[in-house]
Amino acid sequence: MKPAHSLLLISVFRAICAIPAPGQALPAERDASDVRFVSSFVAAGEPVPSECREEAHTFALSLVRYPRPESWHWVLVCDEAGWRRFLRLSGRSEGAAIYASTDLGGRTTYIRGAKLLYPYDLHADPDEIVAHELAHIRLQSESESRVSDLVREWQGRAKLALR
């Protein structure tokens, strides 16, 4: 693991451990990005639920595998109730098969945390979900076809690197 990678991982983990309250921003060190956790079941000041930590771990592992922005807001919506609420508030159907959503103008990406817990989901694996949003950010584009091309390119490179 490259040093920059472990630093980011550490800052994500530090953010998890130091969470003051659900929904509050947590600045990460040496990286202008921040990760926030939104959980429907935790009151202010209570520890982050284990599912949230697990999701954040998976998220961080994927995040460091791909080119990522220096300054970005990540919002991990830890549970399905929270995600349905997010969809509703953003004007979409609660039942929509949406696993993540990037607001390029607002420099913010929302991740459906529950989908990061099940690596064998037929529709999208966790790594793919994170890579997909990173490609939107890299390209600054809403184009799904351009995003898919870039993700394939990245994943091809990642496989080569593992040899």
Number of residues that bind Zn ion (CB under 5 A): 1
CB of 70 to Zn ion, least distance (A): 21
Nearer Cβ to Zn ion, position 26 or 139? 139
What's phi and psi for 132, nearest 5 deg? -60, -45
Question: 48 or 134, CB closer to Zn ion?
Answer: 134
Minimal CA–CA distance to 87: which of 44, 38, 15, 128?
A: 38
Of residues 113 through 132, those in contact with Zn ion by CB under 5 A are: none
Query: Nearer to Zn ion by C-beta: 40 or 141?
Result: 141
Closest CA to 37 of 60, 55, 64: 55
Q: Looking at residue 31, what DSSP letter applies?
A: S
Minimum Å distance from CB 144 to Zn ion?
5
Cβ of residue 110: shortest distance to Zn ion, in angstroms? 12
Minimum Å gap between C-beta 159 and Zn ion is 22
The end-to-end CA distance of the chain, in Å, is 15
Pairwise CA distance, residues 17 & 12, whole Å: 9
